[in-house]
């Protein structure tokens, strides 16, 4: 018996023989039916358990998972944007004298609007860059092996595409809040 099988209670059935078939793309259902028919004929009806682990089926799960996470992220970004808009409104009210001084020196409404919006965009972009830097440092420094209590043989690289999407989203929120 294998070393791990010695640790199992006597009531546990030993592992049954396994037969694995690799089928070409799009032929998994055909091969599943063929294997079930053949092995039921050899070993008796119902003696075989055939299942398909076609990775094409996991695309539906991946799509649903991606849409769910994206939806949650958009919801959180909208809540954050509402908070920033609220702060921007308070800031504009507090800066009414500064805006008046700018107007007295000849600043147009458009110039004042863009200066306030640009301040908001710059602040959110800087916050986004700082967040990306913290995430990169955390991925390289935090001992995941210790936290997860398992060995990680192939640590994935930092997802720069996600970082750029987040930075673009932060810029968009800053523009909306400004």
* Residues 38 and 91 both lie in one domain: no
Instruction: Give CA–CA dist 113/151, Å, rounded.
Output: 53
What's the domain count of the chain? 2
* Residues 76 and 28 both lie in one domain: no
Burial zone of 124 (CB within 10 Å; 0-12 exposed, 13-18 middle, 19+ buried): buried
Residue 48 within any structural domain of the chain? no
Run means of pLDDT, 10 residues per run, the chain, 178 residues: 63 70 76 84 79 66 84 87 83 85 89 86 89 86 76 77 86 80
* Residues 23 and 69 both lie in one domain: no
Q: Which range marks the domain in which residue 65 is found?
A: 58-177
DSSP state of 56: G
* Residues 36 and 124 both lie in one domain: no
């Amino acid at each position: 018996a294998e070393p791990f099988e010695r640790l199992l209670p006597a009531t546990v059935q030993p592992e049954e023989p396994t037969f694995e078939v690799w089928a070409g793309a799009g032929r998994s259902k055909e091969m599943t039916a063929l294997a079930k028919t053949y092995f039921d004929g050899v070993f008796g009806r119902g003696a075989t358990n055939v299942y398909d682990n076609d990775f094409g089926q996991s695309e539906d799960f991946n799509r649903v998972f991606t849409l769910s996470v994206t939806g949650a992220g958009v919801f959180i970004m909208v809540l954050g944007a509402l908070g920033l808009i609220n702060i921007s409104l308070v800031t504009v009210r507090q800066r009414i004298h500064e805006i008046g001084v700018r107007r007295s020196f000849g600043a147009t409404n458009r110039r004042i609007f863009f200066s306030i919006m640009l301040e908001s965009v710059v602040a959110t972009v800087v916050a986004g860059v700082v967040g990306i830097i913290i995430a990169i440092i955390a991925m390289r420094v935090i001992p995941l092996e210790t936290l997860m209590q398992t060995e990680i043989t192939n640590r994935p690289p930092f997802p720069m595409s996600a970082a750029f999407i987040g930075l673009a989203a932060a810029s968009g929120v800053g523009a909306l809040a400004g």
